[in-house]
Structure 1
Amino acid sequence: MTPEVGSFVVDTRRGAIGEVMGHEGPRLQLRPASGGREWEAEPDDVRPATEAEKLTAKVRAANSGSRWGK
């Protein structure tokens, strides 16, 4: 199963939550919820993020923006 663009997944290799930004061949392009540099992941190395993981990522993104006056 290939995750949809806009969905959140956990990259089990990195231990990081990312938003699916696109697909390049078999690889996924992921970006941290708080923004930043995208990275690539193999589809076999990701799993859907749980609701708790998605919430945690979104809260971290909101908190990082508030610290820097965004």
Structure 2
Amino acid sequence: MTYPYPPVGAYALDTRTGRVGLVMGHEGPYVQMRPYGGGREWDAEPGDVRHATPAERLNAATAYTNARSRGEVP
């Protein structure tokens, strides 16, 4: 099945929230995403989701690493 949005396993940007996440699935009319580095999934509208650029992925990875070094992420 072909989707008009990133497939499961791809890093994507939810343009509505500005969050980068890993696409975990497609359930009903939503794209299920999990934050970079793990955490609680959220549902995004398919029209608000696009592939994350390398710079967006790097920003998400850096933010996660910095939060982890401050002890904000288990």
Sort the TM-score into its range (normalised by shorter chain).
Answer: 0.7 to 0.9
Residue identity opposite 1:37 in structure 2 = R
Counterpart of 1:46 in structure 2 is 49
Counterpart of 1:10 in structure 2 is 13
Counterpart Cα distance in 2 of 1:2 and 1:47: 6
Give the match's secondary structure for 1:63.
helix
- Unaligned segments of structure 1, at least 5 residues: none
For residues 1-70 of structure 1, what are the structure 2 equivalents within 5 Å? 1-68=4-71
Counterpart Cα distance in 2 of 1:8 and 1:44: 15
- Unaligned segments of structure 2, at least 5 residues: none
Listed one character per residue, the Cα deviations across residues 32-60 of structure 1 (whole Å, up to 9, x for unaligned) are: 10322111011111111110000111111
User: In percent, how many aligned pairs have the same letter?
Assistant: 54
Q: What TM-score results when the alignment is normalised by the length of structure 2?
A: 0.79
Deviant stretches of 4+, over 3 Å: none
Q: CA RMSD in A?
A: 1.7
Q: What TM-score results when the alignment is normalised by the length of structure 1?
A: 0.82
